[in-house]
Amino acid sequence: KYDVKIPNCLGRFGYGDNTINITNWFPVCCVYDEKGWDLNSYMALGDPFYSDISNFTVNILIPSKYDIACTGSIIEEKKNENKKLCKLQGKKVRDFAIILSDKFKINKSVYGHTSITTYSLNKDLAVESNKVARESIKIFSELFGEYPYDTYSVVASDFFVGGMEYPTLVMIDKNLYSENSKFLLEYVIAHETAHQWWYSVVGNDEISEPWLDEALTEYSTVLYFENKYGEEMKDKLIKTMEVQSENYKGADIFRSSTEFKNSTEYSLNVYTKGAVVFNEIRKKVGDKIFFETLQEYYNSYMFQNVNGIQFTDIWKNKGVNIDEIVSQCD
Protein backbone atom coordinates (compact mmCIF):
# COMPACT_ATOMS: atom_id res chain seq x y z
CA LYS A 1 0.00 0.00 0.00
CA TYR A 2 1.42 3.39 -0.89
CA ASP A 3 0.48 7.00 -1.52
CA VAL A 4 2.09 8.89 -4.33
CA LYS A 5 1.68 12.44 -5.52
CA ILE A 6 1.69 12.77 -9.30
CA PRO A 7 4.28 15.44 -10.12
CA ASN A 8 3.72 18.44 -12.38
CA CYS A 9 6.13 17.44 -15.17
CA LEU A 10 5.91 16.42 -18.81
CA GLY A 11 7.41 12.97 -18.29
CA ARG A 12 6.05 9.46 -18.40
CA PHE A 13 4.66 9.92 -14.89
CA GLY A 14 3.34 13.43 -14.38
CA TYR A 15 0.75 15.96 -15.42
CA GLY A 16 0.68 19.06 -17.61
CA ASP A 17 -2.07 21.44 -18.73
CA ASN A 18 -3.92 18.78 -20.73
CA THR A 19 -3.16 15.24 -19.64
CA ILE A 20 -2.38 13.25 -16.51
CA ASN A 21 0.17 10.58 -17.47
CA ILE A 22 -0.01 7.60 -15.13
CA THR A 23 2.61 5.22 -16.51
CA ASN A 24 5.30 3.15 -14.77
CA TRP A 25 3.29 3.91 -11.65
CA PHE A 26 3.37 0.67 -9.70
CA PRO A 27 6.20 -1.53 -8.40
CA VAL A 28 6.94 -4.48 -10.67
CA CYS A 29 8.62 -7.74 -9.82
CA CYS A 30 12.14 -8.11 -11.24
CA VAL A 31 12.46 -10.50 -14.16
CA TYR A 32 14.23 -13.77 -13.39
CA ASP A 33 16.13 -14.77 -16.51
CA GLU A 34 19.16 -16.92 -17.45
CA LYS A 35 21.40 -14.45 -15.56
CA GLY A 36 19.25 -14.62 -12.38
CA TRP A 37 17.19 -11.74 -10.95
CA ASP A 38 17.52 -8.64 -13.06
CA LEU A 39 18.51 -5.91 -10.62
CA ASN A 40 18.98 -2.96 -12.99
CA SER A 41 17.19 0.04 -11.55
CA TYR A 42 15.73 3.09 -13.25
CA MET A 43 18.04 5.28 -15.32
CA ALA A 44 17.34 8.44 -17.30
CA LEU A 45 18.63 7.24 -20.68
CA GLY A 46 16.49 5.15 -23.03
CA ASP A 47 13.45 3.16 -21.91
CA PRO A 48 14.86 1.44 -18.83
CA PHE A 49 12.21 -1.27 -18.49
CA TYR A 50 12.14 -5.06 -18.43
CA SER A 51 9.06 -7.00 -17.38
CA ASP A 52 7.11 -10.20 -17.80
CA ILE A 53 3.65 -10.67 -19.27
CA SER A 54 0.69 -10.56 -16.89
CA ASN A 55 -3.05 -9.96 -16.66
CA PHE A 56 -4.13 -6.69 -15.04
CA THR A 57 -7.39 -5.56 -13.47
CA VAL A 58 -7.27 -1.96 -12.28
CA ASN A 59 -9.96 -0.03 -10.40
CA ILE A 60 -9.70 3.73 -10.71
CA LEU A 61 -11.84 6.38 -8.99
CA ILE A 62 -11.59 9.75 -10.73
CA PRO A 63 -13.55 12.97 -11.29
CA SER A 64 -16.12 12.10 -13.96
CA LYS A 65 -14.99 14.89 -16.31
CA TYR A 66 -11.95 12.82 -17.33
CA ASP A 67 -11.83 10.46 -20.30
CA ILE A 68 -9.60 7.46 -19.81
CA ALA A 69 -7.10 6.13 -22.33
CA CYS A 70 -5.58 2.93 -21.01
CA THR A 71 -3.87 -0.36 -21.76
CA GLY A 72 -6.60 -2.87 -22.60
CA SER A 73 -10.10 -1.50 -22.10
CA ILE A 74 -12.69 -0.18 -19.66
CA ILE A 75 -14.92 -3.10 -18.74
CA GLU A 76 -17.17 -1.44 -16.16
CA GLU A 77 -18.11 2.11 -15.26
CA LYS A 78 -20.18 3.44 -12.33
CA LYS A 79 -20.94 7.15 -12.13
CA ASN A 80 -22.36 9.52 -9.59
CA GLU A 81 -22.64 13.27 -10.18
CA ASN A 82 -18.97 14.15 -9.96
CA LYS A 83 -16.98 10.94 -9.72
CA LYS A 84 -16.71 7.71 -11.62
CA LEU A 85 -15.36 4.32 -10.65
CA CYS A 86 -14.00 2.37 -13.60
CA LYS A 87 -12.71 -1.14 -13.88
CA LEU A 88 -9.95 -1.48 -16.48
CA GLN A 89 -8.57 -4.70 -17.81
CA GLY A 90 -5.53 -5.64 -19.89
CA LYS A 91 -4.69 -9.25 -20.60
CA LYS A 92 -1.31 -10.70 -21.65
CA VAL A 93 0.47 -7.36 -21.33
CA ARG A 94 3.80 -6.45 -19.73
CA ASP A 95 2.81 -3.06 -18.31
CA PHE A 96 -0.30 -0.98 -17.66
CA ALA A 97 -0.56 2.68 -18.68
CA ILE A 98 -3.34 5.21 -18.08
CA ILE A 99 -3.67 8.71 -19.55
CA LEU A 100 -6.48 10.99 -18.36
CA SER A 101 -7.78 14.20 -19.85
CA ASP A 102 -10.93 16.32 -19.95
CA LYS A 103 -9.84 17.71 -23.34
CA PHE A 104 -9.59 14.59 -25.49
CA LYS A 105 -11.10 14.55 -28.98
CA ILE A 106 -11.64 10.91 -29.82
CA ASN A 107 -11.48 9.24 -33.25
CA LYS A 108 -12.15 5.56 -33.84
CA SER A 109 -11.57 3.01 -36.57
CA VAL A 110 -11.34 -0.76 -36.84
CA TYR A 111 -8.76 -3.12 -38.29
CA GLY A 112 -9.74 -6.80 -38.19
CA HIS A 113 -10.74 -7.53 -34.57
CA THR A 114 -8.90 -4.47 -33.25
CA SER A 115 -10.58 -1.20 -32.42
CA ILE A 116 -8.19 1.70 -32.94
CA THR A 117 -8.79 4.81 -30.86
CA THR A 118 -6.83 8.02 -31.19
CA TYR A 119 -7.01 10.77 -28.58
CA SER A 120 -6.11 14.25 -29.78
CA LEU A 121 -5.95 17.56 -27.98
CA ASN A 122 -6.82 19.76 -30.93
CA LYS A 123 -8.52 19.31 -34.28
CA ASP A 124 -5.27 19.40 -36.26
CA LEU A 125 -4.35 16.02 -37.67
CA ALA A 126 -6.90 14.23 -35.45
CA VAL A 127 -8.33 12.27 -38.39
CA GLU A 128 -4.90 11.80 -40.00
CA SER A 129 -3.38 10.39 -36.81
CA ASN A 130 -6.11 7.74 -36.66
CA LYS A 131 -5.40 6.80 -40.28
CA VAL A 132 -1.67 6.50 -39.55
CA ALA A 133 -2.34 4.36 -36.46
CA ARG A 134 -4.61 2.03 -38.43
CA GLU A 135 -2.24 1.86 -41.39
CA SER A 136 0.68 1.04 -39.05
CA ILE A 137 -1.24 -1.80 -37.38
CA LYS A 138 -2.20 -3.13 -40.84
CA ILE A 139 1.29 -2.94 -42.36
CA PHE A 140 3.06 -4.53 -39.39
CA SER A 141 0.35 -7.24 -39.07
CA GLU A 142 0.94 -8.15 -42.69
CA LEU A 143 4.74 -8.04 -42.42
CA PHE A 144 5.38 -9.68 -39.05
CA GLY A 145 2.22 -11.43 -37.88
CA GLU A 146 -1.16 -10.42 -36.54
CA TYR A 147 -1.53 -7.78 -33.83
CA PRO A 148 -2.98 -9.92 -31.02
CA TYR A 149 -4.99 -7.40 -29.00
CA ASP A 150 -8.54 -6.06 -29.36
CA THR A 151 -7.61 -2.44 -28.68
CA TYR A 152 -4.93 0.03 -29.73
CA SER A 153 -4.75 3.61 -28.50
CA VAL A 154 -2.59 6.50 -29.67
CA VAL A 155 -2.74 9.31 -27.14
CA ALA A 156 -1.66 12.94 -27.58
CA SER A 157 -0.07 13.83 -24.24
CA ASP A 158 1.78 16.49 -22.33
CA PHE A 159 5.00 14.62 -22.95
CA PHE A 160 8.35 16.18 -23.74
CA VAL A 161 10.12 13.70 -25.96
CA GLY A 162 8.50 12.34 -29.13
CA GLY A 163 6.64 9.22 -28.09
CA MET A 164 6.61 6.36 -25.62
CA GLU A 165 5.35 2.85 -26.02
CA TYR A 166 3.20 0.83 -23.62
CA PRO A 167 1.22 -2.33 -24.32
CA THR A 168 -1.76 -1.45 -26.57
CA LEU A 169 -1.21 2.26 -25.84
CA VAL A 170 1.36 4.80 -26.95
CA MET A 171 1.75 8.39 -25.84
CA ILE A 172 2.76 11.05 -28.36
CA ASP A 173 4.01 14.58 -27.70
CA LYS A 174 0.98 16.81 -28.33
CA ASN A 175 3.20 19.41 -30.04
CA LEU A 176 3.69 17.06 -33.01
CA TYR A 177 0.01 17.51 -33.98
CA SER A 178 0.50 20.39 -36.39
CA GLU A 179 0.85 20.76 -40.18
CA ASN A 180 4.51 21.73 -39.71
CA SER A 181 5.40 18.47 -38.03
CA LYS A 182 3.08 16.19 -39.99
CA PHE A 183 5.90 13.94 -41.23
CA LEU A 184 7.44 13.65 -37.76
CA LEU A 185 4.04 12.81 -36.25
CA GLU A 186 3.59 10.01 -38.78
CA TYR A 187 7.14 8.81 -38.11
CA VAL A 188 6.67 8.75 -34.33
CA ILE A 189 3.25 7.02 -34.49
CA ALA A 190 4.66 4.36 -36.87
CA HIS A 191 7.71 3.86 -34.62
CA GLU A 192 5.72 3.54 -31.40
CA THR A 193 3.24 1.22 -33.12
CA ALA A 194 6.08 -1.05 -34.29
CA HIS A 195 6.99 -1.39 -30.60
CA GLN A 196 3.74 -3.34 -30.17
CA TRP A 197 5.58 -6.14 -31.98
CA TRP A 198 9.08 -5.45 -30.64
CA TYR A 199 8.88 -4.75 -26.88
CA SER A 200 5.19 -5.32 -26.15
CA VAL A 201 4.49 -8.78 -27.61
CA VAL A 202 8.12 -9.94 -27.93
CA GLY A 203 9.83 -8.47 -24.89
CA ASN A 204 13.45 -7.91 -23.96
CA ASP A 205 15.72 -6.33 -21.38
CA GLU A 206 15.69 -2.73 -22.60
CA ILE A 207 18.67 -1.72 -20.45
CA SER A 208 21.13 -4.51 -21.28
CA GLU A 209 20.06 -5.03 -24.90
CA PRO A 210 18.13 -1.97 -26.09
CA TRP A 211 19.02 -2.76 -29.74
CA LEU A 212 16.76 -5.81 -29.68
CA ASP A 213 13.64 -3.67 -29.66
CA GLU A 214 14.87 -0.22 -30.75
CA ALA A 215 16.97 -1.12 -33.81
CA LEU A 216 14.29 -3.45 -35.11
CA THR A 217 11.54 -0.93 -34.33
CA GLU A 218 13.42 1.84 -36.12
CA TYR A 219 13.88 -0.39 -39.16
CA SER A 220 10.20 -1.38 -38.98
CA THR A 221 9.40 2.34 -39.17
CA VAL A 222 11.35 2.47 -42.44
CA LEU A 223 9.32 -0.54 -43.62
CA TYR A 224 6.10 1.33 -42.83
CA PHE A 225 7.19 4.21 -45.10
CA GLU A 226 8.39 1.80 -47.79
CA ASN A 227 5.05 -0.01 -47.80
CA LYS A 228 3.01 3.16 -47.77
CA TYR A 229 5.01 5.43 -50.09
CA GLY A 230 7.25 3.10 -52.11
CA GLU A 231 10.86 1.98 -52.33
CA GLU A 232 12.26 5.43 -53.11
CA MET A 233 11.07 6.65 -49.74
CA LYS A 234 12.88 3.75 -48.04
CA ASP A 235 16.09 4.48 -49.95
CA LYS A 236 15.90 8.13 -48.94
CA LEU A 237 15.40 7.29 -45.25
CA ILE A 238 18.19 4.69 -45.22
CA LYS A 239 20.60 7.06 -47.01
CA THR A 240 19.96 9.70 -44.33
CA MET A 241 20.49 7.13 -41.58
CA GLU A 242 23.75 5.95 -43.17
CA VAL A 243 25.07 9.51 -43.25
CA GLN A 244 23.93 10.27 -39.67
CA SER A 245 25.56 7.13 -38.26
CA GLU A 246 28.64 6.81 -40.47
CA ASN A 247 31.07 7.61 -37.65
CA TYR A 248 29.81 4.80 -35.45
CA LYS A 249 30.93 1.17 -35.41
CA GLY A 250 28.33 -1.47 -36.23
CA ALA A 251 29.24 -3.50 -33.14
CA ASP A 252 28.39 -0.54 -30.88
CA ILE A 253 24.69 -1.09 -31.47
CA PHE A 254 25.01 -4.07 -29.07
CA ARG A 255 26.03 -1.91 -26.10
CA SER A 256 23.78 -1.59 -23.05
CA SER A 257 22.14 1.79 -22.49
CA THR A 258 24.40 2.33 -19.44
CA GLU A 259 27.39 2.48 -21.82
CA PHE A 260 26.32 5.55 -23.77
CA LYS A 261 27.34 9.07 -22.77
CA ASN A 262 24.16 10.84 -23.81
CA SER A 263 20.89 10.41 -25.68
CA THR A 264 22.32 11.54 -29.04
CA GLU A 265 25.08 8.92 -28.94
CA TYR A 266 22.53 6.37 -27.74
CA SER A 267 19.99 7.02 -30.47
CA LEU A 268 22.49 7.36 -33.35
CA ASN A 269 24.02 4.00 -32.40
CA VAL A 270 21.07 1.93 -31.26
CA TYR A 271 18.28 3.34 -33.46
CA THR A 272 19.97 4.79 -36.52
CA LYS A 273 23.01 2.53 -36.96
CA GLY A 274 20.79 -0.32 -35.80
CA ALA A 275 18.30 0.30 -38.63
CA VAL A 276 21.19 0.45 -41.13
CA VAL A 277 22.40 -2.94 -39.86
CA PHE A 278 18.92 -4.45 -40.34
CA ASN A 279 18.82 -3.08 -43.87
CA GLU A 280 22.19 -4.78 -44.55
CA ILE A 281 20.86 -8.08 -43.17
CA ARG A 282 17.87 -7.78 -45.49
CA LYS A 283 20.11 -7.02 -48.51
CA LYS A 284 22.27 -10.03 -47.67
CA VAL A 285 19.48 -12.62 -47.24
CA GLY A 286 16.83 -11.24 -49.59
CA ASP A 287 13.25 -10.26 -48.77
CA LYS A 288 11.83 -13.76 -48.57
CA ILE A 289 14.18 -15.05 -45.85
CA PHE A 290 14.29 -11.67 -44.09
CA PHE A 291 10.53 -11.44 -43.54
CA GLU A 292 10.07 -15.17 -42.92
CA THR A 293 12.69 -14.96 -40.18
CA LEU A 294 11.04 -11.97 -38.53
CA GLN A 295 7.68 -13.77 -38.65
CA GLU A 296 9.26 -16.85 -37.11
CA TYR A 297 10.88 -14.71 -34.40
CA TYR A 298 7.55 -13.02 -33.63
CA ASN A 299 5.58 -16.27 -33.50
CA SER A 300 8.18 -18.22 -31.51
CA TYR A 301 8.68 -15.61 -28.79
CA MET A 302 5.19 -14.11 -28.54
CA PHE A 303 4.46 -13.03 -24.91
CA GLN A 304 7.97 -14.00 -23.81
CA ASN A 305 11.27 -12.20 -23.27
CA VAL A 306 14.17 -12.84 -25.61
CA ASN A 307 17.87 -12.11 -25.49
CA GLY A 308 20.35 -11.27 -28.23
CA ILE A 309 21.71 -14.82 -28.40
CA GLN A 310 18.27 -16.27 -29.10
CA PHE A 311 17.75 -13.62 -31.76
CA THR A 312 21.08 -14.22 -33.52
CA ASP A 313 20.55 -18.02 -33.28
CA ILE A 314 17.31 -17.76 -35.27
CA TRP A 315 19.29 -16.02 -38.03
CA LYS A 316 22.18 -18.50 -37.72
CA ASN A 317 19.71 -21.29 -38.52
CA LYS A 318 19.00 -19.45 -41.79
CA GLY A 319 22.72 -19.28 -42.56
CA VAL A 320 22.98 -15.61 -41.55
CA ASN A 321 25.85 -14.50 -39.33
CA ILE A 322 24.65 -11.24 -37.79
CA ASP A 323 28.05 -10.47 -36.18
CA GLU A 324 29.70 -10.68 -39.58
CA ILE A 325 27.16 -8.33 -41.15
CA VAL A 326 27.47 -5.94 -38.22
CA SER A 327 31.27 -5.80 -38.50
CA GLN A 328 30.89 -4.93 -42.20
CA CYS A 329 28.83 -1.90 -41.14
CA ASP A 330 31.82 -0.13 -39.55
Instruction: Please report, as ranges, the residues that interact with Zn ion according to CB under 5 A.
Output: 214, 217
* Least Å from the CB of residue 271 to Zn ion: 7
The nearer residue to Zn ion, 187 or 290, going by C-beta atoms, is 187
Task: Give me the least distance between CB of 261 and Zn ion, in Å please.
Answer: 19
- Minimum CB separation of residue 220 from Zn ion in Å reads 10
Which residue's CB is nearer to Zn ion, number 15 or number 166?
Answer: 166
Nearer to Zn ion, 143 or 275 (CB): 275
CB of 143 to Zn ion, least distance (A): 17
Burial environment of residue 49 by CB neighbours within 10 A (0 to 12, 13 to 18, 19 or more)? buried
Contact 17, 156 (CB under 8 A): no
CB nearer to Zn ion: pick between 39 and 44? 44
Query: Which of residues 270 and 329 has its CB atom nearest to Zn ion in the complex?
Result: 270
Q: At its nearest, how many Å lie between Zn ion and the CB of residue 94?
A: 15
